Chain A
Amino acid sequence: MYTQTEVIKDTTTAKGAENELVINMGPQHPATHGVLHLVVTLDGETVKKIEPHLGYIHRSIEKMTESLTYRQFTYVTSRMDYLSAHINNLACAMTVEKAMQIEVPERARVIRVLMNELTRIASHELWIGAMAMDLGAFTPFFYAFREREMITEIMEDSCGARLTMNYMVPGGVMHDIHPDFQKKVKAFVQQFKDKVTEYEDLVTNNVIFQSRTKGVGYLSKEDAISYGCSGPVARASGVSCDIRKIYPYEVYDKVEFDEVLDTAGDSFARYIVRIKEMNQSIRIIEQLIDTIPEGDFQAKTKAVLKPPKGEFYTRVETARGELGVYLVSEGGTTPYRIKYRSPGFSNLSALDHMARGGKIGDLMATMGTLDLVIPDIDR
């Protein structure tokens, strides 16, 4: 039990075998985007083994949730995968709705899907910038953030926050959308369509970028399934795993979109899958933005939510992959146990397999395309 900060042990003093160099990548390292700690064993420039050490941002959200009510516990999840805050919240809200059989109004469902897709685009935008930065290109970051900024503003209007938004509540959404919502989203869609070619010029068609990512960090279809990978990581290896398609929730079964699949399984494929996914999200937004139905934005629910005894599991597709919420209810006002199956945790476990035998530069490309969000892994 810890009462004061203790000095983190230097694990690299453990000497590797002959010709091996053990380096600590993180918890403070520019490419780990957070407090991920990888102990990397190198032979010259070649990666021989990667051992993740987690827990630097472990808040034990699962334990915390056991003492929070069903209205409170969604808010904590915004701090898990902070780039998919809406989608995390939605998973929690849907679990409670499933347990209590709350009928969500049509308007709320459409708003939820719109917000989810905007979140997905924002997350992928940030990822492009961060990933290009891992490969040593700084400029795409600023181009990506130009578009992301518009989404953040849309979020700010409706939810009051730019990051760690809390908007989805059991029964619907917290407030109605801002009057400017539709106008701003349309402006964003137009802007995005105009500017997405800039990414193609700057990143996709760049010879150095292609040679850095093609064939790097290969993950076969079997391995992707076995490691429990989900989201764009698995889809780039040819695993059809888009929860929005397989087990549609909200209004995903009423909109037209394609599940983006690639079979190459390398870093470039993961990049392409995410770029195409943004276009699919734009497609979904375009179908829904003009036809947001009138009506309530929230169902009438009791002040104190008390789901019946039982076990409930919800799966949603976040920007990183499949998020599962496993709720064990004993009938009280707080959950008996909640397990979050986070996409990053499973995706990270494949990193060692993917990066072995590559160079340090390949490790950055692989890690970049895994799109790890550390609070999501640690929870």
Chain B
Amino acid sequence: MMFSLEGITKTIQDWLFSSFSPTVALLIECAIIILLAIALFAVLGLVLVLMERKVAAHIQIRLGPNRVGPGGMFQTVADTIKLIMKEGLTPDMADKFLFNLAPFIVMIVAMLLLAPIAFAKNFQIWDINIGVLYVSAISSLSVIGILMAGWASNNKYSLLGAMRSGAQIVSYELSAGLAILSVVVLTGSLQISDIIESQKDGWWLFKGHIPVIIAFVIFLIAVTAETNRAPFDLAEAESELTAGFHTEYSGMRFAFFFLAEYINIFIVCAIGATLFLGGWMPLHIGNWESFNHLMDYIPSSVWFMGKTFFLIFLIMWFRWTFPRLRVDQLLNLEWKYLLPISLFNILLVTLIAIMGWHF
């Protein structure tokens, strides 16, 4: 194939290891990865915010940003510059240290989650053998940042928002984890590359296992809740709590929360695409050799991004069509419906795996 990220990375690595000692080469690789991760962050933030505004505008029969640059393309750049230039206020009675630390914790958690994601064929920062477990473990840390922000702000709205967020993320973690587990059980591996490899002949969602489809739906609902997106945006609920946990944040610190929210959406959608939609695997249908061959010509990175952005679009669609749930309804939905269904579902999946009914 002409265009392949795999080839580029391999060339760079070979060149580095031939020119420098292994330690120096590793350090340079680390630096490159850090730079790339930060760049990806910035680009994703800009693209996703613009995408959200355009999707929202389309759903709400209006145009959306259309002044800065062609089709409003540079609107988010302008917004970012504005946010950087703004004064970062700290409330008088706030716990200054925790108040300043909180946005960075949320950001760092989002960054850490990038590590095991396979962006294209053999293009992955860290193919750790417990990749899925790593994602579940790290993603629950962001609640610490949110609780910290809510508590340190010395604001009642922030506190309420943070408490809501805590209850919500801790609950929905369970369903999300169980939904992820169902794929792990069928694959028999926690490693991201193995999971993708197992979907060579067909994506888990389309293989026809009903429990997997149930798991996918539960996963979508749970991650929407975990990322504090509408209809589960109770932590921010602007009509109830003005802005929830980030009421007191301004300028770049607010932007970090904002950015982390979008990065988190990207990551959960990337995980969803990897687990249920085959990651970078092209669409293959049974024995249609020519069709499968044609699909292979589309670069694997395009497949991955396409699937991820499709899921992101779904989550945005939710946000702009549904009203918000009430806090007790939110917890009822999790503990009374999603969790029992997930538990039963995982039993079914295990049964299928043990009996070897899957393919």
Chain A contacts to B: CB under 8 angstroms: 12, 21, 23, 29-31, 45, 132-139, 141-143, 146, 202, 206, 208-209, 211-212, 359-364
Contacts and interface: CB of A to CB of B under 8 A. Distances in A.
Interface of B: 56, 59-62, 156-157, 160, 164, 230-231, 233-234, 237-242, 320-329
Given A12-B156, A359-B327, A360-B240, A136 B231 contact: yes
B156 A212 contact: no
B321 A29 contact: no
B61 A134 contact: no
Given A23-B157, A31-B240, A136-B231, A206 B60 contact: no
B157 A137 contact: no
Contacts of B56: 138
A206 B321 CA distance: 9
Given A138-B60, A143-B61, A359-B328, A209 B242 contact: no
Nearest to A21: B156
A362 B328 CA distance: 11
A136 B322 CA distance: 8
A324 to B, nearest CB: 32
B239 A208 contact: no
- 9 pairs of A and B residues whose beta carbons are closest in the complex: A136-B324, A361-B326, A137-B323, A135-B323, A142-B60, A31-B239, A134-B239, A23-B156, A136-B323
A202 B61 CA distance: 14
A45 B327 CA distance: 8
B56 to A, nearest CB: 7
A132 B238 CA distance: 13
Given A12-B156, A136-B233, A146-B61, A212 B326 contact: yes
22 contacts: A21-B156, A21-B160, A30-B242, A135-B324, A136-B233, A136-B239, A137-B321, A139-B321, A142-B62, A143-B60, A146-B61, A206-B323, A208-B231, A211-B325, A211-B329, A212-B323, A359-B326, A359-B328, A360-B241, A361-B237, A361-B327, A362-B326
A208 B322 contact: yes
B325 A212 contact: yes
Contacts, number: 83
A10 B294 CA distance: 68
B62 A136 contact: no
B60 A208 contact: no
A47 to B, nearest CB: 11
A21 B159 CA distance: 11
Contacts of A23: 156-157, 160
A361 B324 contact: yes
A139 B239 contact: no
Interface of A, helix, strand, loop or mixed by DSSP: helix
Nearest to A132: B323
A136 B156 contact: no
B61 A136 contact: no
Contact of B320 (A29, A135, A139, A361): A139
Contacts of B326: 211-212, 359, 361-362
B60 A137 contact: no
B277 to A, nearest CB: 27
A138 B231 CA distance: 11
Nearest to B243: A30
A206 B61 contact: no
Nearest to B327: A45
Contacts of A141: 60
A56 to B, nearest CB: 17
Nearest to A146: B61
A212 B60 CA distance: 22
A163 to B, nearest CB: 20
A134 B56 CA distance: 18
A186 B237 CA distance: 40
A337 to B, nearest CB: 39
B320 A208 contact: no
Contacts of B324: 135-137, 208, 212, 361
A137 B238 contact: no
B59 A136 contact: no
A22 to B, nearest CB: 8
Contacts of B239: 30-31, 133-136, 364
Given A142-B60, A142-B61, A211-B329, A136 B230 contact: yes
Contacts of B237: 136, 361
A84 B49 CA distance: 38
B299 to A, nearest CB: 36
Contacts of A134: 239
A374 to B, nearest CB: 16
B218 to A, nearest CB: 17
Nearest to B332: A211
Point out which of B241, B322, B326, B327 has the most chain A C-beta atoms below 10 A from its C-beta.
B326
A42 to B, nearest CB: 8
A138 B320 contact: yes
Point out which of B233, B238, B322, B328 has the most chain A C-beta atoms below 10 A from its C-beta.
B322
Contacts of B230: 136
Contacts of A146: 61
A362 B239 CA distance: 12
A30 B238 contact: yes
Nearest to B322: A208
Nearest to B234: A361
